[in-house]
Amino acid sequence: MSTPEAGRLSEILARSATRRDFLSRASALSLAIPAVGAALTSCAPNGEQATDSAAASKRAGGAAASGSQESRLPHNSDSRLDSAVLKQEHATPSSATHEATAHAAETKYHRYDPMLPPLPNGNRLQVHFHAREAPIRVSDDLVVAGWTFEGDIPGPIVHCRVGDTVDFTLTNESDIPHSMDFHAAQIDPKTAFRSVIKGQSVSYTFKPKWAGIFMYHCGTAPVLMHIGSGMYGAIVVSPREPLPAAKEFVLVQGEYYLGDTVNGARPFDFQKMLSTVPDFVTFNGRPNQYIKEPLRVKVGDRVRFWVGSVGPQHPCNFHVVGEQFDTVYLGAPPGTPIRGVQTFAVPAGGGMCFELLCDVPGEFPFVNHAFGHGQKGAIGILAVEG
């Protein structure tokens, strides 16, 4: 334990008391998927490897030190940014860390505001996010053990224009290494999307080239675990030439794969994520939240839904009951619109823009029309007032 960081890291591993249970259970079920096994195996319970890794991470400022040992390891990351971090592979089988469950019972529910925030003044946007483990109340009777950006699931909606400059900083306040991958950035992920450990920050600047809704997420290995535990959100990039005036909403579909309650919070469960059958499917992190508190517009309004699916696995088959989209942009708006659409699938890791004109009043449910998932919470109401 030569560094404080290493100490913290080995604590994390020590806290994973479920690791052995998990492995033996996986084995009994013939579910011992090698990638997972390997990842878990690399969570060496002795401190030495962790110490080395943490030291290497500090030494190199996160730049990868490629080597023969590394190349023998399975890299189940989509960023492979920081080989020091990769060496320890924080494949925690659940998100139930101390911070993610502390004071779970006392956390309050709040509706996630789906309105697209206004554009920034000027052409430069400063965004500073903090990676935090925190319990999140997603319904009256459910608190999840979240890994978050800015303490919420999803993280905050970012809004800018094509060609604006985004200065982004991530500061990690969590015991587990984290990183940030913006799908709107064209940049070397090995450097920009590298993992940082507790107390450290990473900064980079990007200029979005294309309009659309783009996912952001933690890209630290195993990526499935970090996205699946809540580290995701959306940046909406508006075209420089404005689209037709509309009420604009952001809906980010995310799946929840949950284990048994720990300290009042249900943790996200890595093995269950691999099974791909979610417990809940949510818009903006809360099952059915916009049934309780609908989106409200007026007759005559054009409504623009910026819809992303962060998965981690499934598409959002977006549909509005009682309405049809006059326009869906499969690529960057305003390019290649298609017209007259009832339902279109937004792939996991992707985003699309859906528009409709509210010419009659009423209550129009918007749903993931794959109802095996819709029924698990991906339903809300668009209330059109006369």
**Residue 293 and residue 312: Cα distance in Å, rounded?**
26
Residue 380, beta-bridge partner list: 366
Per the listing, tokens 């305003």 go with 334
The minimum distance between CB 192 and a second copy, in angstroms, equals 7
Map residues 130-159 to x or -, x wherever contact with a second copy holds by CB under 8 A: ---------xxxx-----------------
Max Cα distance, the chain (Å): 68
CB-count exposure of residue 32 (10 Å: 0-12, 13-18, 19+): middle
**Which region, judged by CB under 8 A, interacts with a second copy, from 8-16, 113-121, 177-185, 244-252?**
177-185
**Residue 105 and residue 382: Cα distance in Å, rounded?**
31
Residue 24 interacts with a second copy (CB under 8 A)?
Answer: no
Report the residue from 144, 252, 351, 353 that binds a second copy according to the rule CB under 8 A: 351
Residue 227 interacts with a second copy (CB under 8 A)?
Answer: yes
Residue 214's nearest CA partner among 186, 241, 188 is: 186
**Residue 51 and residue 55: Cα distance in Å, rounded?**
6
- What does R_g of the chain's alpha carbons equal in angstroms? 21
Q: Which of residues 294-313 bind a second copy (CB under 8 A)?
A: 311-313
**Residue 49 and residue 41: Cα distance in Å, rounded?**
12
Q: Which of residues 60-89 bind a second copy (CB under 8 A)?
A: 64, 71-72, 74-80
* CB of 129 or CB of 280, closer to a second copy: 280
121 CB contacts (<8 Å, ≥6 apart)? none
H/E stretch holding 342 reads none
Q: Which of residues 201-220 bind a second copy (CB under 8 A)?
A: 209-212, 214-215, 219
What one-letter code names the amino acid at 165? Answer: T
**Which region, judged by CB under 8 A, interacts with a second copy, from 15-23, 115-123, 153-161, 364-372?**
364-372
Residue 183 interacts with a second copy (CB under 8 A)?
Answer: yes
* CB of 34 or CB of 118, closer to a second copy: 34
The minimum distance between CB 183 and a second copy, in angstroms, equals 4
Report the residue from 273, 295, 297, 307 that binds a second copy according to the rule CB under 8 A: 273
* CB of 211 or CB of 252, closer to a second copy: 211
Report the residue from 24, 201, 205, 275 that binds a second copy according to the rule CB under 8 A: 275
* CB of 18 or CB of 191, closer to a second copy: 191
Let me know how long the chain is.
386
